[in-house]
Amino acid sequence: MNENPKDWKTYDEFAYGIDTNRLPATDALAGSSYKIDFADGRSLDFAFAEGEIKWSDGKEGATDKAEVIEVAPETYFVELVFAGRSKEAETLILNIETGRALSIYSIVRDAGDAVGEPQVAQIFRPGVIDGGAASGPVPHESRDLIGLRAHFTYSPNHVYEHTYLSSQRYAWQCLVGVQRGHGDVDLATTYKFDENLYIFTFREFKIPVASTFFYNFNDMRSTGKFLGITGDGRIQNSPAGAFIRKASMTYYLPGQEPV
């Protein structure tokens, strides 16, 4: 069995205060309702109220807690926390002007079902709001971040460096905070939502946690969440947010690009 390095921090130990620089929530969508038709055939009906969403996917439905943040003009980061599914959470990225949507569904699996893989898995579903004629680019996997090295300041006590290595992996290290000196390479997936707007996700190997972040490179802000298992075995869904600073960019010769 592989053991974590000495003094390796648990999810809850590093996550405390990591939402200090997060954008504020908004009630701008309260009272509105939408339907998303996803590319894989799933549909989701939902109605916003203050701090919650009433939703139905045709098989199940409920009213659950939700947080809504405007992360770009007419573009919202919606975190849906299921009371009846503690090991699952859904993040919706919505542009109510263009009609584009992306769902990132995170699932904490049993350890035995994730041997050799990160324990928290993610499912990605692009979609269209209200079945209309959507405009703008379709959300799609992107290689645009490959070679970028950037610094993320989540709070005075949380500064991390990210290096985007390939379409499948990124490296991180802590520059300021309780994880200072720690770092790793984890699985990652990047979606381009629109010009200078990306959804970056990663799934860690050493601890059971996965993250979903919206990058707005126009405003240099990152807004996201972590879903994982704390040191004492609880499921925790933690908000996070940071200021972004681009540090450098690596360029590759033709034929030598990463996967």
User: Percent of the chain, pLDDT > 70?
Assistant: 98
Mean pLDDT, the chain, whole residue set = 94
Lowest mean pLDDT among 5-14, 23-32, 214-223: 5-14
pLDDT tier at 14, thresholds 50, 70, 90: confident
How confident is the model at residue 4, as a pLDDT?
73
Q: Do the beta carbons of residue 218 and residue 196 sit within 8 Å?
A: yes
Give the domain ranges of the chain.
11-249
Which residue type is seen at 14? F
Residue with tokens 């003094």: 7
Q: Do the beta carbons of residue 107 and residue 121 sit within 8 Å?
A: yes
Lowest mean pLDDT among 7-11, 25-29, 67-71: 7-11
Give the separation between CA 49 and CA 66, rounded to whole angstroms: 9
Q: Give the predicted TM-score (pTM) of the model.
A: 0.95
Please report the beta strands in 82-206, taking only residues with DSSP state E, as ranges in sequence order: 88-95, 100-108, 120-129, 140-141, 148-155, 158-164, 169-176, 183-194, 197-203
Count the neighbouring beta carbons within 10 Å of the beta carbon of residue 209: 26
